[in-house]
Amino acid sequence: MKNIVNILLLIAVLFTSCDKDYLEVDSPDLTDQAVFSDPALLEAFIINQYTGIRMADKEPSIRGWNDSPFGLSRGYHWAMWASNTDEAVYSNDDQTYLVQKGQLSPTNFGWTSTSWGRSYRAIREINLALSKIIDAPFEQEEIDLFNAELRFLRAYRYFNLLKGFGKIPMMGDRVTTLEDDFSDLYNKAEISEVVGYIKSELDVAIGRLPVTSGSDWQNGRATKGAAMALKSRLLLYAASPLYNAGNWQEAASAAKAIMDLDMYGLVDDLDSDPVENYKKFFRTNDTKEDIFTRQFNVSTHAIPIERMNAPNGFGGWGGNCPMQNLVDDFETADGYAIDDPASGYDPQNPYVNRDPRFYATILYNGAAFRDRNIETFLPGGKDSPDGNEPWNTSPTGYYMRKFLDEEVNLSDWPNMGHSPWRYFRYAEILLNYAEAQNEAVGPDASVYEAINKIRMRAGMPDLPDGLDKDDMRERIRNERRIELLYEEHRYFDVRRWEIAMETENAPAMGISIKKESDGTLVFEPKVALDGKTFMEKHYWFPIPQDEIDASNGALEQNPGYN
- Write out the DSSP string of 318-372: --EEEPHHHHTTSPBTTS--TTSGGG---TTSTTSSB-HHHHHHEE-TT-EETTE
Q: Please report the pLDDT score of residue 218 as a whole number.
A: 52
Give the pLDDT of residue 28: 45
Position 176 scores a pLDDT of 83
Share of the chain above pLDDT 70, in %: 90
The stretch 108-123 carries a mean pLDDT of 92
Residue 58 pLDDT: 60
Q: What pLDDT is recorded for position 137?
A: 85
Name the nearest CA neighbour of 10 among 33, 41, 52.
Answer: 41
Q: Give the pLDDT score at 497.
A: 98
Span of 43-52, 307-316, 441-450, 462-471 with lowest mean pLDDT = 43-52
In angstroms, rounded to a whole number, what is the distance separating the alpha carbons of residues 353 and 374? 18
pLDDT reading at 317 higher than 60: yes
What pLDDT band is residue 35 in, cutting at 50, 70 and 90? confident
The phi and psi torsions of 20 (rounded to 5 degrees) equal -115, 150
Please, which residues bridge with residue 513 across strands?
523
Q: Where is average pLDDT lowest: 97-101, 297-301, 370-374, 462-466?
A: 297-301
Predicted pLDDT at 68:
52
- Asked if the model's pLDDT at residue 520 lies above 60, the reply is yes
SS3 524: strand
Residue 63 DSSP code:
B
- Average of per-residue pLDDT across 139-155: 93
Q: Indicate whether this model's pTM tops 0.85.
A: yes
Question: Of 559, 557, 535, which is closest to residue 546 (Cα–Cα)?
Answer: 557
In the predicted model, what is the mean pLDDT of the chain? Answer: 90
pLDDT digits (tens, 9 = 90+) for 331-370: 999 999 999 999 999 999 999 999 999 999 999 999 999 9
Least confident residue range of 12-21, 176-185, 229-238: 12-21
> What's the mean pLDDT in 398-405?
98
Top mean-pLDDT range of 34-38, 43-47, 179-183, 369-373 = 369-373
Sequence-separated (6 or more) residues with CB below 8 Å from residue 172 = 127
Residue 182 has pLDDT above 90, yes or no: no
Does residue 403 have a pLDDT over 70? yes
The pLDDT value given to residue 69: 53
Q: Which helix (H) or strand (E) holds 527?
A: strand 521-529
Return the pLDDT at 3: 35
Cα separation values, 303 from 36, 68, 415, 431, Å: 32, 7, 11, 29
Q: How confident is the model at residue 51 (pLDDT cuts 50, 70, 90)?
A: confident
